[in-house]
Amino acid sequence: MPAKYKRIILKLSGESLMGKQNYGIDSEVLETISYELLSISKLGIEIGIVIGGGNIYRGLSAQEQGVDRVTGDQMGMLATVINSLAIQNSLEKRGIYTRVQSAIKMDEIAEPFILRKALRHIEKKRVVIFSSGTGSPYFTTDTAAALRAIEIKADIIIKGTRVNGVYDSDPEKNPKAKMFKKLSYLDVLEKDLRVMDLTAITLCQENSLPIKVFNMNIKGNLKKLVMGENIGTLVC
Whether 68 is in a domain gets the answer yes
State yes or no: pLDDT of 222 exceeds 80: yes
**Tens digit of pLDDT for each residue in 28-57?**
999 999 999 999 999 999 999 999 998 888
Whether 207 is in a domain gets the answer yes
With cut-offs at 50, 70 and 90, classify the pLDDT of residue 22.
Answer: confident
pLDDT for 17 equals: 86
**Tens digit of pLDDT for each residue in 86-136?**
999 999 999 999 999 999 999 999 999 999 999 999 999 999 999 999 999
With cut-offs at 50, 70 and 90, classify the pLDDT of residue 15.
Answer: confident
CATH number at residue 68: 3.40.1160.10
CA contacts within 13 A on the Cβ side of 219: 4
pLDDT for 179 equals: 92
3-state secondary structure the chain: CCCCCCEEEEEECHHHHCCCCCCCCCHHHHHHHHHHHHHHHCCCCEEEEEECCCCCCCHHHHHHCCCCHHHHHHHHHHHHHHHHHHHHHHHHHCCCCEEEEECCCCCCCCEECCHHHHHHHHHCCCEEEEECCCCCCCCCHHHHHHHHHHHCCCCEEEEEECCCCEECCCCCCCCCCCEECEECHHHHHHCCCCCCCHHHHHHHHHCCCCEEEEECCCCCHHHHHHCCCCCCEEEC
Predicted model pTM: 0.93
State yes or no: pLDDT of 3 exceeds 90: no
With cut-offs at 50, 70 and 90, classify the pLDDT of residue 14.
Answer: confident
pLDDT for 1 equals: 75
Whether 2 is in a domain gets the answer no
Which of 62-66, 134-138, 169-173, 221-225 bottoms out in mean pLDDT, i.e. has the lowest? 62-66
With cut-offs at 50, 70 and 90, classify the pLDDT of residue 152.
Answer: very high
Rounded-to-integer distance, Cα 19 and Cα 118, Å: 30
pLDDT for 23 equals: 83
With cut-offs at 50, 70 and 90, classify the pLDDT of residue 62.
Answer: low
Query: How many independent structural domains does the chain possess?
Result: 1
Q: How many CB atoms lie within 10 A of CB 60?
A: 12
pLDDT for 169 equals: 85
Whether 110 is in a domain gets the answer yes
Whether 81 is in a domain gets the answer yes
pLDDT for 59 equals: 56
Residues spanned by the domain of 182: 7-235
State yes or no: pLDDT of 65 exceeds 80: no
Mean pLDDT over all residues of the chain? 92
pLDDT for 135 equals: 96
- Mean pLDDT on 195-212: 95
Whether 1 is in a domain gets the answer no
